[in-house]
Structures are given as C-alpha cells and as structure tokens.
Copies of this chain bind each other. A is one copy, B any other.
C-alpha cells in the first residue's frame, strides 16, 4: 500500500485493497476500475480504467466504491506450445521495446516496458500460421528515449538479418519516435532484400483493447507476401478493427497521441492496405521500391552535431548562435509557410552558413513543402546559402542531413543530395487526397 493519510483511511473504510476490481460512483458517472498502487498521496487514488488508461481521482469526488473482484499483481507466464511450421516464410522480428511489449509497472501503476519476447510471441499465436518468426531482442526501451545511436544499432541488426538470408524484417518499436527510426533505417540500409516493417502498439499488451497483436499480424501478412523493398510503418488504418496501413517510412508521421490509427502518410497515400480478416494486401501506391538484387549495404553513420529547430514568432536567435558556437555541422529549420523565418534570424543564419554549417529549410506545415523562390523572405534565405528541403518532412530532413554529414562526403555533394530524392523522401507531386 503506497497511500497515506486520508486516501489510505478512505480505502480502509471501504475495505478496498490495491489491485481490487471496483465500481466507482461519482456525482456524474459510475465505472469499473482497478485500484493501482499510486505514488504516495493522501488525497487521490489511482485507477486503471478498462480502456487501459490510468486516472487519478480525488477521493472527495467519490460517492461510493464497491469491490467486485481482484487481480493478481504478478502473474506467471503460461508455458508456450508453439508449432513452428517449416514451409512458412522466415521473417526476422527485431525487438526494440515500446508499448507493444509493455505491461503495467506494478510499483507505480504506470506502464513500463517489461514484457518478454516469449510473452509477446505467446500473445499472438496467429503469427505462427503466417510466418516462421526468427526472434532477436535488440533492446527494450520506450521510443522517446531513442537517440541516433539506437538507429545505428537497428540498422546493423536489420543488415545482419538480410545478410543471413531474411526476406523481410519486422521491427517492434515504441510509437513515439517510430517515424524517426523508420526514416533513419531507410537511409542507413541501402539495397534491402525486402520490407523492413516497423510496428508497435498504442495500447499496452496486457489490455483487452490492445492493438499489439493485430498490428503484429498485419505486419506478418505484409512481410510474408509483399515484394516491397522499403522501410515501412504498419499500424491501424482508421477506426476499423481489421484494416491496416503500410506507410512509407520517410513520408509518415505520428499525428495522434492516443488513437490506434495515429500514423498518417503525408503528401501521398499509404503504400498498401492490409485486411487481416480477409488476409489480403491491397497496393494503393504502386510506385514503391522493390527489393534489391544487390548486396544489402550498411551506411550507418550519423553526425550528432545536427539539429532540428522549429521556428515561431519570438524564437530567440540565441538558439542558432549557440549551435554555431558549438560547431554544429547541420541545422534543419522547420520554417513557417513556404519555408520562412523572421527577419531578425537572418544574421544568425547567415553566420551559420558562412561558418560552414549546412542550413536546410523545411516547412512546419507538413503538407505542401518549401518554395524559396516565391516570396522575398525565401529568396533572401536562398541567397544566403540556405538549402531547400523541398517537400521533405522536417524530421526526415533532419535525419537525412545528419546521415549525409556522417558519410564524410564533400559539402557540395551533401547540398546536392539534400535536394535530390534518395529514398522516396521527396515526392514529385503531392497526392491531392493525401491532405485531409
């Protein structure tokens, strides 16, 4: 019991213990929940709701609290009985952590990464009728803690799988920065032998409404059948339970913090749609890259002295100045509109360029991209030496610039390659329907 004072008394008075299932009645509503062992508090009790979210509720707001059961705080992993079917395509699953592999952290009541890979496999028995999985535990962290260093490790692990003969790789990953890792892998691994599919979950695996299993099944279906040689993100396509989208890794972004269909393709449709009920894959964007016949090539260097700066009215020029003082080699600006910044930043940007920092402009609008020739502000930035990121997403331009700087190329070559499409990150024409 971590409660104290009035909260502790309140629970004791109602004969409720931590991990009891209860019916909570407030003035406005009545709902089922599990009492969590919250952090020390004397006014709130912490509840796990059936939808998986936690709620801190002031005890003054509770009209009644009735026990209807209890759960066990620790549970034993059921023994696995998995029949591996040898005639199925072998697909490597590389595990990097995230909600897909998380359960309640029982010391705090919050969700923390804890699920083992065995547990994960156990939770999705269907997968063994689609692919012959080969499991690798690379690391187990929430994706908000990923850094470029982790992208290198993911690329190395995927490269190893392809070299060992894998025809597809699934990477289980937290959703917070999945679009960053998917973009990084696209650049760092050239000539992939097949799809490199990032998937995760918006709701943790110990919840009935979790999307962990369905996302893995959709990923396995795509991995087993597709002939796509790209870095992809596979997650729910919309409110449907059985339809999933395969987004191009360098054109996707997480646009919702809670929904299962949190990811969106920007400026183009998803490459494919996967129906897990019909076990069907429908190609939407047929202009995808096919697997390469050449040797998979690992290009996993990243210049840490690369920064991404979001521009806004009032942004201090000190931020740019500091990066230049610290000898940053690349700065990506997420400018306003067609790629603009306030005039008072010009001096700092000019100094950055003059001192050899490569400055790339992108648009914080996400859709539409940069055109530095339309307005005076864009023309002035261009004349200072700012490079257009064209319609690259800001986070993708950041990764591409850091990656190019890591490859030890001449400065002029880097500037040239920034504006050139290398992995489908720059689109020739925005799909009209992609802007919603």
Enumerate chain A interface residues (CB-CB to B < 8 A): 39, 46, 53-56, 105, 108, 110-112, 142-148, 150-151, 174-177, 180, 239, 254-259, 262, 304, 306-310, 312-316, 318-319, 322-323, 326, 334-344, 363, 365-371, 373-379, 383, 395, 398, 402, 432, 435-436
Contacts and interface: CB of A to CB of B under 8 A. Distances in A.
**Copies of this protein in the complex:** 2
Contact of A318 (B259, B326, B344): B326
Nearest to A337: B176
A147 B313 CA distance: 5
Q: Which of A39, A142, A258: most chain B Cβ within 10 A? A: A258
Contact of A368 (B110, B148, B257): B257
A112 B144 contact: no
Contacts of A142: 340, 375-377
Contact of A53 (B108, B146, B374): B374
B177 A313 contact: yes
Given A112-B375, A148-B314, A336-B176, A366 B308 contact: no
A315 B316 CA distance: 17
A254 B112 CA distance: 35
A177 B336 contact: yes
A383 B436 CA distance: 38
B256 A367 contact: yes
Given A307-B316, A312-B398, A316-B326, 13 more contacts: A53-B374, A110-B378, A110-B379, A146-B342, A176-B336, A176-B340, A256-B366, A257-B337, A257-B339, A257-B365, A257-B371, A258-B368, A322-B322
Contacts of A371: 53, 257-258
B259 A367 contact: yes
Given A53-B371, A105-B376, A315 B322 contact: no
A309 to B, nearest CB: 8
A435 to B, nearest CB: 6
Given A176-B337, A336-B177, A375 B111 contact: yes
30 contacts: A39-B379, A39-B383, A54-B373, A54-B374, A110-B378, A110-B379, A112-B375, A112-B376, A143-B336, A144-B337, A144-B377, A146-B342, A147-B314, A147-B342, A148-B313, A150-B313, A151-B313, A174-B337, A177-B312, A177-B336, A254-B365, A256-B365, A256-B368, A257-B337, A257-B363, A257-B370, A307-B316, A308-B310, A308-B312, A318-B326
B313 A310 contact: no
A39 B378 CA distance: 13
B255 A365 contact: yes
B312 A180 contact: yes
Contact of A319 (B112, B175, B319, B376): B319
A419 B150 CA distance: 35
Contacts of A53: 371, 373-374
A193 to B, nearest CB: 26
Q: Which of A314, A315, A370, A436: most chain B Cβ within 10 A? A: A314
B374 A110 contact: yes
Contacts of A313: 146-148, 150-151, 177, 180
